């Protein structure tokens, strides 16, 4: 079965720095990959989608890369702010709209 792993530990960074979160997967060939943000007690909120034939996607301070050879996606938040503190989830999807989520990474941005 597919396996999706994110940063194994919580990530703490200083405000203003760039946060980089990783998503690695095995036994799967996703058609696309997505990143979501989840705050405690709330449902996830969509951030970015990147297709298998795309290498990089940007949205404001967010950047996502997708390397299907390495089976890895990197999620960057530049000029991080305390408000960026949350859990970030990657999700892999296939053409059948089946979604599988990673383990999530808790990010804390320290003022």
Partner 1 sequence: GAVVSQHPSWVICKSGTSVKIECRSLDFQATTMFWYRQFPKQSLMLMATSNEGSKATYEQGVEKDKFLINHASLTLSTLTVTSAHPEDSSFYICSAVGLWPTEAFFGQGTRLTVV
| Per CB under 8 A, 73 contacts partner 1 | no
| Per CB under 8 A, 31 contacts partner 1 | yes
| Per CB under 8 A, 79 contacts partner 1 | no
| Per CB under 8 A, 41 contacts partner 1 | yes
Nearer to partner 1, 31 or 74 (CB): 31
Best CA proximity match to 71, nearest among 10, 17, 29:
29
The residue from 42, 60, 69, 111 that contacts partner 1 (CB under 8 A) is 42
Looking up tokens 């997708």 gives: 66
Best CA proximity match to 22, nearest among 56, 69, 71:
71
CB 34 within 8 A of CB 91: yes
Nearest distance in Å: CB 32, partner 1: 5
Phi, psi for residue 84 in degrees, rounded to 5: -80, -10
| Per CB under 8 A, 24 contacts partner 1 | no
Nearer to partner 1, 41 or 111 (CB): 41
| Tokens at 93, concatenated | 């999807």
């Amino acid at each position: 079965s597919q396996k999706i792993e994110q940063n194994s530990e919580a990530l703490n960074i200083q405000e203003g720095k760039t946060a980089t979160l990783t998503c690695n997967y095995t036994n799967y060939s996703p058609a696309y990959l997505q990143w979501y943000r989840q705050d405690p007690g709330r449902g996830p909120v969509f951030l970015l989608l990147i297709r298998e034939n795309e290498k990089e996607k940007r949205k404001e301070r967010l950047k996502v890369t997708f390397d299907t050879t390495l089976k890895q996606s990197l999620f960057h938040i530049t000029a991080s702010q305390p408000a960026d503190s949350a859990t970030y989830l990657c999700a892999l999807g296939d053409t059948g709209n089946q979604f599988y989520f990673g383990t999530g990474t808790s990010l804390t941005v320290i003022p």
